[in-house]
Amino acid sequence: MGLSNAAVTPGRTAVAKLQGEVSGIVGFSEIIDTDGEPAFFVGVDLSRPNENRTPLFVTVDLKGLAPDTEYAYSINTGTVSGDNCSNTGQVFDPLQRVTDIKTYNCDKFHVFETCALGDLSLINRQATGGGTLGTFSDTFVVNYLSFDAPGGRNIIGRNIAIAFSNGTIVSCGNIALSQQENTPK
């Protein structure tokens, strides 16, 4: 899936600053055509109610990962305080696709049918410690989450959690609009 031929520019941005054993950020930027309209993607059927008309460019930059260890990263329903990750809540699933975690099997080629939309690492790829470096960086685009879309797909005020593959959360941070978005123009 790629961008149309139109030139694009970042729109509003949001970030989760992660605190805990793993540090870093997960950033989100709206992708806007230079004419001010949301960017459209080749191969995306925007008539589907689940697809967002303003795609988000996602940047994941993590430090402090254990070497050769896989980590999950997800958007969760709760709001956390400082580095206390006990209130992250469940993986964000506005379409309520996941009914039994024991049989959960996210297929990134059938996201709307099989995945909790906040399950970024299974939809994209797991974070790994990268040998002895302990860092992970990735960028990707999602067209099914938003800063303010109707239908419950809003990610602002939710959190990002980083967890070991056994589910133990090691880091978290709330998703908030970037400061420049909160200042009067």
pLDDT tens sequence across 137-147: 999 988 888 88
Q: Could you tell me if residue 29 is inside a domain?
A: yes
Backbone dihedral region of 157: left (phi > 0), alpha (psi from -120 to 50 degrees) or beta?
Answer: left
Q: Could you tell me if residue 134 is inside a domain?
A: yes
Q: What's the token pair of residue 142?
A: 């999602």
Q: Could you tell me if residue 2 is inside a domain?
A: no
Q: Could you tell me if residue 4 is inside a domain?
A: no
Q: Could you tell me if residue 51 is inside a domain?
A: yes
Q: What's the confidence (pLDDT) of residue 175? A: 96
46 pLDDT more than 60? no
pLDDT band at 132 (very low <50, low <70, confident <90, very high): low
Work out how many domains the chain is built from and give that number.
1
Q: Which domain holds residue 19?
A: 9-176
- Give me the CATH number covering residue 28: 2.60.40.200
pLDDT in tens, 55-93: 889 999 999 999 889 999 999 999 999 778 999 998 998
Model confidence, pTM: 0.81
Q: Could you tell me if residue 183 is inside a domain?
A: no
